[in-house]
Amino acid sequence: MTVVVIKRFASPELCAQLNDWVDLGVENRWLDQGISSGSGWSYAKRFTTRNYGDRFEYPTPVHDTFKQITETLELQDLPKSVAGAGRDGVVVSCTFPGGDVYLHQDPKEPNGEVLRCNIMTRSADAGGKLYVGDAHIDIEVGDLHCYLASAIPHYVTTVEGNTSRVLWMFGYQATPERFAQIQVA
């Protein structure tokens, strides 16, 4: 199994709350310029909390969602991600029209791979499609999708239209063997 997907994990109301925080975060620079191939940390078409965790506190719904993921997937034995920066094991990104996520692998963790359990809370009008390895992963707003982001290349196609794409990444440290034990009911 390369990617675990749980459809409709996050409610429309939760997604709206998280998107409101992101919009406020972009305005207040809690999210700031991201990285892209060839641009370093000056990519203005995707903002992230990755290097800016000292600028804010996540609201309660973010911590509650992390807890729900942990309990649903029975990941209590795994430490949170530290290699991906962000804050409290959580990174959020907002990709604006014309932006993308270049083909990459996340950095490894001190205790193995980085396991990203992600929820897209806002989708682009068009584009913004996730590829893990060579496979398109069909996700919709509110779906939880998890994979070892440091073990397999992944990217997101160019966001098209007028709507930004928002992705919340909840990170753990896991071995491939531990990831293979995840059971989805």
pLDDT tens for 73-100 read 999 999 999 987 789 999 999 999 999 9
Using the predicted structure, report yes or no on whether residue 1 has a pLDDT greater than 80: no
Domain locations along the chain? 4-180
Q: What is the pLDDT of residues 158-182, one digit of tens each?
A: 999 999 999 999 999 999 999 999 9
Q: What is the pLDDT of residues 6-21, one digit of tens each?
A: 999 999 999 999 999 9
Predicted pLDDT at 84 = 73
Q: Residue holding tokens 């994979």?
A: 147
Q: What is the pLDDT of residues 105-133, one digit of tens each?
A: 999 999 999 999 999 999 999 999 999 99
C-beta neighbour count of 165 within 10 angstroms: 28
CA 9 to chain centre: 14
Query: What number of CA atoms fall less than 13 Å from residue 143's CA on the CB side?
Result: 14
> Which SS3 state, helix, strand or coil, does residue 19 take?
helix
DSSP label at residue 163: -
Q: Does domain 4-180 have CATH number 2.60.120.590?
A: yes
Q: What average pLDDT is seen over the chain?
A: 95
Predicted pLDDT at 58 = 97
Q: What pTM, to 2 d.p., does this model score?
A: 0.96
